[in-house]
Amino acid sequence: MLEFLLRIFGRDTTASKKVAKERLRLVLVHDRAGVSPHLLEALKNDLISVISEYLDIDTQGLEVTLSHENDSVALVANIPILRVKRTFKTGAETSVKA
Protein backbone atom coordinates (compact mmCIF):
# COMPACT_ATOMS: atom_id res chain seq x y z
CA MET A 1 0.00 0.00 0.00
CA LEU A 2 2.78 2.39 0.90
CA GLU A 3 4.53 1.54 -2.33
CA PHE A 4 1.31 2.15 -4.22
CA LEU A 5 1.00 5.59 -2.67
CA LEU A 6 4.63 6.39 -3.32
CA ARG A 7 4.17 5.46 -6.95
CA ILE A 8 1.12 7.67 -7.32
CA PHE A 9 3.05 10.56 -5.93
CA GLY A 10 6.01 9.81 -8.13
CA ARG A 11 8.51 9.22 -5.35
CA ASP A 12 9.46 5.72 -6.36
CA THR A 13 13.11 5.88 -7.27
CA THR A 14 13.08 2.44 -8.86
CA ALA A 15 10.48 3.38 -11.45
CA SER A 16 11.10 1.24 -14.48
CA LYS A 17 11.79 4.17 -16.78
CA LYS A 18 15.00 4.83 -14.88
CA VAL A 19 16.06 1.26 -15.39
CA ALA A 20 15.16 1.51 -19.08
CA LYS A 21 17.12 4.70 -19.53
CA GLU A 22 20.19 3.33 -17.80
CA ARG A 23 20.15 0.11 -19.78
CA LEU A 24 19.74 2.06 -22.96
CA ARG A 25 22.63 4.35 -22.15
CA LEU A 26 24.94 1.41 -21.57
CA VAL A 27 23.90 -0.57 -24.61
CA LEU A 28 24.40 2.49 -26.79
CA VAL A 29 27.92 2.99 -25.53
CA HIS A 30 28.62 -0.50 -26.85
CA ASP A 31 26.75 0.04 -30.08
CA ARG A 32 28.28 3.38 -30.85
CA ALA A 33 31.79 2.13 -30.19
CA GLY A 34 30.97 -0.31 -32.98
CA VAL A 35 32.17 -3.19 -30.85
CA SER A 36 30.30 -6.38 -31.53
CA PRO A 37 30.81 -9.67 -29.69
CA HIS A 38 32.24 -10.93 -32.96
CA LEU A 39 34.83 -8.17 -33.02
CA LEU A 40 35.77 -8.85 -29.40
CA GLU A 41 36.24 -12.53 -30.20
CA ALA A 42 38.51 -11.75 -33.15
CA LEU A 43 40.46 -9.26 -31.05
CA LYS A 44 40.86 -11.87 -28.32
CA ASN A 45 42.27 -14.42 -30.77
CA ASP A 46 44.75 -11.91 -32.15
CA LEU A 47 45.79 -10.93 -28.64
CA ILE A 48 46.41 -14.59 -27.80
CA SER A 49 48.61 -15.11 -30.81
CA VAL A 50 50.66 -11.97 -30.23
CA ILE A 51 51.08 -12.40 -26.50
CA SER A 52 51.90 -16.09 -26.85
CA GLU A 53 55.13 -15.08 -28.56
CA TYR A 54 56.31 -13.61 -25.31
CA LEU A 55 54.44 -15.32 -22.54
CA ASP A 56 52.71 -18.60 -21.88
CA ILE A 57 49.20 -17.55 -21.11
CA ASP A 58 46.09 -19.30 -19.96
CA THR A 59 43.99 -18.95 -23.10
CA GLN A 60 40.96 -20.43 -21.35
CA GLY A 61 41.05 -17.94 -18.53
CA LEU A 62 41.60 -14.97 -20.81
CA GLU A 63 38.89 -12.34 -20.72
CA VAL A 64 38.45 -9.35 -22.96
CA THR A 65 35.61 -7.00 -22.16
CA LEU A 66 34.52 -3.43 -22.41
CA SER A 67 34.06 -1.64 -19.16
CA HIS A 68 31.87 1.37 -18.73
CA GLU A 69 32.95 4.12 -16.45
CA ASN A 70 30.57 7.05 -16.33
CA ASP A 71 30.36 8.03 -19.97
CA SER A 72 33.51 6.42 -21.28
CA VAL A 73 34.41 2.92 -22.34
CA ALA A 74 37.68 1.08 -21.71
CA LEU A 75 38.99 -2.13 -23.15
CA VAL A 76 39.89 -4.41 -20.26
CA ALA A 77 41.89 -7.57 -20.83
CA ASN A 78 42.51 -10.00 -18.02
CA ILE A 79 45.28 -12.36 -19.14
CA PRO A 80 46.53 -14.98 -16.65
CA ILE A 81 50.21 -15.67 -17.23
CA LEU A 82 51.38 -19.26 -16.77
CA ARG A 83 55.06 -18.78 -17.50
CA VAL A 84 57.45 -16.24 -18.96
CA LYS A 85 59.20 -17.64 -21.99
CA ARG A 86 62.94 -17.91 -21.87
CA THR A 87 63.36 -17.27 -25.58
CA PHE A 88 61.17 -15.23 -27.80
CA LYS A 89 61.06 -14.27 -31.44
CA THR A 90 61.33 -10.70 -32.59
CA GLY A 91 59.79 -9.48 -35.78
CA ALA A 92 63.04 -10.09 -37.69
CA GLU A 93 63.02 -13.72 -36.62
CA THR A 94 66.28 -13.45 -34.68
CA SER A 95 66.32 -15.58 -31.57
CA VAL A 96 67.29 -13.72 -28.46
CA LYS A 97 68.30 -15.29 -25.23
CA ALA A 98 66.58 -13.73 -22.28
Partner 1 sequence: MGEVIVITSGKGGVGKTTTTANLGTGLASLGKKVVLVDTDIGLRNLDVVMGLENRIVYDLLDVVEGRCRLKQALIKDKRLENLYLLPANQTRDKTAVSRQQMVDLMAQLREEYEFVLIDCPAGIEMGFKNAIAGAEKALVVTTPEVAAVRDADRIIGLLEAAEMEAPRLIINRLRPDMVRKGDMMDIEDMLEILAIDLIGVVPEDEYIVISTNRGEPAVLDKHSRAGQAYRNIARRLTGEEVPFLNWDAGNGIMARLRRLIGLG
Q: Is 8 in the site for partner 1 (CB under 8 A)?
A: yes
Q: Which stretch binds partner 1 (CB under 8 A): 17-25, 55-63, 70-78, 86-94?
A: 17-25
Q: Report, in Å, the least distance between residue 27 CB and partner 1.
A: 6
Q: What are the CB-based long-range contacts (under 8 Å, 24+) for 51-55?
A: 51/79, 53/85, 53/88, 53/89, 54/84, 54/85, 54/88, 55/81, 55/82, 55/83, 55/84, 55/85
What is the distance between the alpha carbons of residues 57 and 78, in angstroms, rounded to a whole number?
A: 11
CB nearer partner 1, residue 15 or residue 77: 15
Site string for partner 1, 31-70 (x = CB under 8 A): xx--------------------------------------
